C-alpha cells in the first residue's frame, strides 16, 4: 500500500542496526509507536513481541493484518475469502458509492463499479465478523487486504487529500481483492497490544524494551491525506465535508506535523518512555533538525551509546561524513539512562554556572524534604535534585530569577515561537553588530516595559558577549555583541529545562540569603554557590547593576552558616579554597571548626571544592 514515509527502502538498515546492538534474539518487546503500514514491525516479527500504535485505525489495522497474516486460515469461514470475492461481481450502493464515486457524488476517487465493489467487500467482511465466522485476527487481515486492494484502483496521485480530475488508467481497471505482502516468519508472531492513541497519552504506561519512533516529518497531516481509508476501516458513515469529502477527526493530535509543537512532543516521549532502547527514523527534510534530535537523545540517553546513520538511496554514510545538499534518511539509536541520572542545563549561559560539575554535586542532593538553592543563578544545581517534595529557587538578582521563572511559567511552544519571531524581526545574527545594537537600544527604551520583556531580554542575552547578564546602574542592558547566538543546542536546553521545571514544585524568591534563616529546618538541604571571593569573577565586581561580593560579604555568609547549621539541615557549598597565591581563610576556618567534609573537583585547570556539612 502506498503510504507517506514508508520505510521499505531502509528497513534492512534498521534490522542491521538492531543486530549490531545485540537486540535481536532476546524476545524483547518492540513498541512501534507510529506503525504506519507496519513495514518495520513486519520485518522484525521473528525476533520481538510487538506493540503497535498509530493515531489512525487504518494504520494499526493494516499493520496487524500484515504481521499476523500467516495465522489466518479461515477455518470457521470454510472458504477462501480471496477466491470467493474474486469469483463474483457483486456490488452494493453504500457509503463509498454514495460519496466517492461520480454518479452519486461527483467525486472521482473510484469508478462507480469499483466503489460498489468496495462497499460489497466491506459489508461482507463485517457480516462475517458479526456472525463469528472469522476471528479478530482474520478480520484485521481482511481489512488490511481491502486497504491494499483499494490503493491499486484509487484515482489519486498517491494520497487521498484530493482526487484526480481525469481518470488514471489504473483507476478504471476492475478492483481485485489482493493479499497483503508480508515477511515469512519462523515463529508465530506475537502482537501484545494495539493502541490508537496520541503517543504522549500512553507513553508512560507502555511497558516495552525498545521504542521505535517513525513520526511524521512534514506538515502533511496523515488524518487529511488518508481520511478516506480511515473511514473505510472504521465503517462509521461519518459526516463529511468539502469538495474532497473529508471527515472530522475530533481529538486527534497533529502536533508531530507542526513546528515547535513537534520539538516539545518529542522531548516528552523520550523522557517518559519506559523503554531502555530508543530507535528512531527521520528525514533530513523533516521539521526537527538532526542536531535537535541528537541533543535530546543524548540528554536522556547514554552519549557513548549514541549512533546516527545517514542513508540516501545511492550510498551509506555515518554521522562523521561531511554534509552535502542531498536528502537523507536518518536512523538514530541510543540506550536510555535512568531519569535520576539525567542532567538538565539552563539555557542561560550564566557565569559561574555549575553545568560542568553537576555530576559531582548530584550524588549529595538527597536525604531531605526541601532543596533550597540559595544563590541559584541559572538553577543548574537545584533543578538536578531528584526526590525532593519541594524546591526553593533564590537569587538576589531579580532579573535572573525572573528569567529562570519564565521557563516554568511560559508555554514552551509559545516561547520557542516568540524567540524565533524576535530574531527574524530584528535580523539578529552572529557578528551582526548593527542590528544587535539597534535591538539592545529598543529593549532599553521600550521593550523592557512590555508584557514579554523577559523573552525580549533572554533573546538579547543570547547574542551578547559570552551571553553575560550585564546592566548599568539604571538596569539598562549594556553587554556588547558576542560570538554566539541562538542554535539547536539552546533550543534543546529550553525544551528540556522547561519540561523539568514544570514538573517540580518550585517557588521562586529574590531575597538576601540572610532572610532564609527562619525558614530553614532539619528537613532542608541548603545548597550555596556564592561568588568566589578569591577569583573575583566579573559578576562580583559591583558594576553590573547589582551589589558585588567582598570580604565583608564572605564574613556575613560565614555567620549565616553558623546560624543554620545548628538547625540540623544539610549544607552544601561550592567554592575555591586556594587560587594562585590567595586562599579563602574564612571558609577554611569554618570547615575545620564545623568538621565538614570536602570533595575536591578539578575543573578548567583549577581545583574547586564541594563542602558537605550534615
Q: Is the pLDDT of residue 252 over 90?
A: no
What is the distance between the terminal CA atoms of the chain, rounded to a whole angstrom? Answer: 65
Which grid coordinates belong to 368? Answer: 531531605
Fold of 11-334: Rossmann fold (3.40.50)
Res 318: pLDDT = 54
Contacts of the segment 386-389: beta carbons below 8 A, 24+ positions apart:
386/339, 386/340, 387/340, 388/525, 389/505
- Calpha distance 163→228 (Å, rounded): 11
Characterize 319-342 residue by residue with b for buried, 16 or more Cβ atoms within 10 angstroms of its Cβ, and e for exposed: eeeeeeeeebbbbbbbbbbeeeeb
At residue 542, does pLDDT exceed 80?
Answer: no
Q: Which residues contact 101 (CB under 8 A, 6 or more apart)?
A: 107, 108, 109, 110, 111, 112, 114, 115, 116
- Give me 249's grid cell: 477527526
A 10 A CB-CB count for 416 gives: 20
| Average of per-residue pLDDT across 498-510 | 98
Task: Calculate what percentage of the chain has a pLDDT beyond 90.
Answer: 84
In this prediction, residue 367 carries a pLDDT of 86
Query: Per-residue pLDDT averaged across 203-225, rounded?
Result: 94
Task: Summarize the confidence of residues 128-152 as an average pLDDT.
Answer: 98
Neighbours of 610 (CB within 10 A): 21
Q: Which residues of 587-600 are buried (b: 16+ CB within 10 A; e: fewer)?
A: bbebbeeeebeebe
Band of residue 486 on the pLDDT scale cut at 50, 70, 90: very high
pTM of the prediction? Answer: 0.93
Give the per-residue pLDDT at 189: 92
Can you spell out the DSSP letters for 499-520? HHHHHS-EEEE---GGGGGGG-
User: What mean pLDDT is reported for the chain?
Assistant: 93
What are 550-570's pLDDT values in tens digits? 899 999 999 999 999 999 999
Coil, strand, or helix at residue 236? coil
Q: In the numeric block, which cell numbers belong to residue 1?
A: 500500500
Query: If you write DSSP's letter for every residue of 25-40 in order, what string do you get?
Result: TS--EEEETT-TT-HH
DSSP string, 362-386: GGGS-SSSEEEETT-TT-TTGGG--
Cell digits for 224?
487529511
Q: Tell me the HSE value of 326 on the side-chain side, using a 13 A CA sphere.
A: 15
E strand segments, 27-121: 29-32, 49-53
Domain borders along the chain are 11-334, 358-405+507-596, 410-492
Q: Considering the chain, what percentage of its residues have pLDDT values greater than 70?
A: 96
Per-residue confidence at 544, pLDDT binned at 50, 70, 90? very low
Please give the DSSP secondary-structure letter assigned to residue 540.
G
Q: What is the pLDDT of residue 468?
A: 87
358-405+507-596 CATH pick, 3.40.390.10, 3.40.50.150, 3.30.365.10, 3.50.50.60: 3.40.50.150
pLDDT band for position 317 (cuts 50, 70, 90): low
Alpha-carbon gap, residue 327 to 310, rounded angstroms: 9
Confidence category of residue 545, pLDDT binned at 50, 70, 90 = very low
Q: Do 410-492 and 11-334 fall under one CATH topology? A: no
Query: Do 394 and 372 meet the contact criterion of CB atoms below 8 Å apart?
Result: yes
The listed CATH number (1.10.760.10, 1.20.210.10, 3.20.20.70, 1.10.1020.10) that belongs to domain 410-492: 1.10.1020.10
Cell numbers placing 516? 532564609
How many C-beta neighbours within 10 Å does residue 190 have? 14
Question: Residues 6 or more apart from 22 whose CB is under 8 A from it?
Answer: none
User: Does the structure show a pLDDT above 70 at 534?
Assistant: yes
Q: Nearest 10 degrees: CA dihedral of 354, 357, 361, 362?
A: 90
- Assess contact for 562 and 613: CB atoms under 8 A: no
pLDDT, one tens digit per residue, over 56-66 is 999 999 999 99
Amino acid at each position: 500500500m502506498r503510504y507517506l514515509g514508508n520505510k521499505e527502502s531502509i528497513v534492512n538498515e534498521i534490522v542491521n542496526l538492531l543486530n549490531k546492538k545485540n537486540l535481536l534474539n532476546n524476545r524483547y518487546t518492540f513498541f512501534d509507536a507510529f506503525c504506519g503500514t507496519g513495514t518495520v514491525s513486519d520485518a522484525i516479527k521473528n525476533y520481538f513481541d510487538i506493540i503497535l500504535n498509530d493515531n489512525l485505525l487504518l494504520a494499526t489495522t493494516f499493520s496487524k493484518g500484515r504481521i499476523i497474516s500467516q495465522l489466518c486460515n479461515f477455518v470457521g469461514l470454510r472458504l477462501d475469502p480471496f477466491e470467493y470475492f474474486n469469483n463474483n461481481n457483486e456490488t452494493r450502493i453504500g457509503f463509498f458509492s454514495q460519496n466517492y464515486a461520480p454518479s452519486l457524488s461527483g467525486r472521482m476517487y473510484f469508478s462507480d463499479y469499483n466503489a460498489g465493489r468496495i462497499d460489497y467487500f466491506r459489508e461482507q467482511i463485517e457480516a462475517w465478523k458479526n456472525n463469528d465466522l472469522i476471528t479478530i485476527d482474520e478480520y484485521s487481515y481482511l481489512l488490511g487486504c481491502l486497504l491494499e486492494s483499494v490503493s491499486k484502483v484509487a484515482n489519486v496521485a498517491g494520497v487521498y487529500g484530493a482526487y484526480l480530475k481525469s481518470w488514471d488508467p489504473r483507476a478504471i481497471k476492475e478492483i481485485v481483492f489482493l493479499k497483503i505482502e508480508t515477511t515469512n516468519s519462523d515463529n508465530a508472531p506475537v502482537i501484545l497490544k494495539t493502541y490508537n492513541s496520541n503517543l504522549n497519552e500512553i507513553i508512560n504506561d507502555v511497558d516495552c524494551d525498545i521504542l521505535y519512533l517513525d513520526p511524521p516529518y512534514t506538515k502533511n497531516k496523515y488524518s487529511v491525506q488518508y481520511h478516506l481509508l480511515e473511514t473505510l476501516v472504521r465503517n462509521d458513515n461519518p459526516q463529511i465535508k468539502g469538495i474532497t469529502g473529508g471527515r472530522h477527526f475530533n481529538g486527534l493530535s497533529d502536533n508531530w506535523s507542526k513546528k515547535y509543537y513537534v520539538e516539545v512532543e518529542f522531548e516528552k516521549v523520550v523522557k517518559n518512555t519506559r523503554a531502555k532502547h530508543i530507535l528512531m527514523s527521520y528525514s533530513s527534510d523533516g521539521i526537527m533538525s538532526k542536531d535537535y534530535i541528537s541533543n535530546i537523545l543524548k540528554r536522556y540517553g547514554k552519549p557513548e551509546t549514541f549512533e546516527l546513520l545517514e542513508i540516501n538511496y545511492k550510498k551509506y554514510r555515518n554521522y562523521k561524513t561531511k554534509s552535502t545538499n542531498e536528502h537523507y534518511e536518518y536512523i538514530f539509536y541510543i540506550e536510555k539512562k535512568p531519569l535520576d541520572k539525567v542532567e538538565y542545563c539552563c539555557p542561560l549561559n550564566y557565569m559561574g554556572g555549575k553545568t560542568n560539575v553537576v555530576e559531582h554535586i548530584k550524588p549529595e542532593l538527597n536525604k531531605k524534604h526541601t532543596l533550597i538553592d540559595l544563590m541559584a543563578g541559572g538553577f543548574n544545581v537545584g533543578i538536578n535534585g531528584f526526590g525532593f517534595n519541594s524546591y526553593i529557587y533564590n537569587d538576589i538578582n531579580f532579573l535572573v530569577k525572573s528569567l529562570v521563572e519564565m521557563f516554568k511559567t511560559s508555554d514552551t511552544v509559545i516561547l520557542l515561537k516568540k524567540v524565533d519571531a524576535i530574531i527574524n524581526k530584528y535580523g539578529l545574527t552572529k557578528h551582526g553588530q548593527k542590528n544587535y545594537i539597534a535591538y539592545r537600544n529598543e529593549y532599553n527604551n521600550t521593550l523592557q516595559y512590555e508584557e514579554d520583556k523577559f523573552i525580549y531580554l533572554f533573546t538579547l542575552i543570547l547574542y551578547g558577549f559570552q551571553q553575560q547578564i550585564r546592566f548599568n546602574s539604571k538596569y539598562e542592558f549594556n553587554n556588547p555583541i558576542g560570538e554566539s547566538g541562538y542554535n539547536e543546542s539552546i533550543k534543546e536546553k529550553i525544551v528540556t529545562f522547561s519540561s523539568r521545571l514544570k514538573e517540580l514544585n518550585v517557588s521562586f524568591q529574590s531575597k538576601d540569603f540572610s532572610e532564609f534563616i527562619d525558614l530553614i529546618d532539619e528537613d532542608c538541604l541548603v545548597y550555596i554557590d556564592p561568588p568566589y571571593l578569591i577569583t573575583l569573577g566579573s559578576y562580583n565586581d559591583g558594576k553590573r547593576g547589582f551589589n558585588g561580593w567582598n570580604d565583608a560579604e564572605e564574613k556575613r555568609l560565614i555567620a549565616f552558616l553558623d546560624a543554620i547549621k545548628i538547625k540540623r539541615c544539610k549544607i552544601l557549598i561550592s567554592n575555591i579554597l586556594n587560587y594562585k597565591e590567595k586562599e579563602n581563610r574564612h571558609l577554611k576556618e569554618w570547615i575545620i571548626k564545623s568538621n565538614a567534609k570536602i570533595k575536591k573537583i578539578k575543573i578548567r585547570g583549577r581545583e574547586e571544592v564541594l563542602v558537605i556539612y550534615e
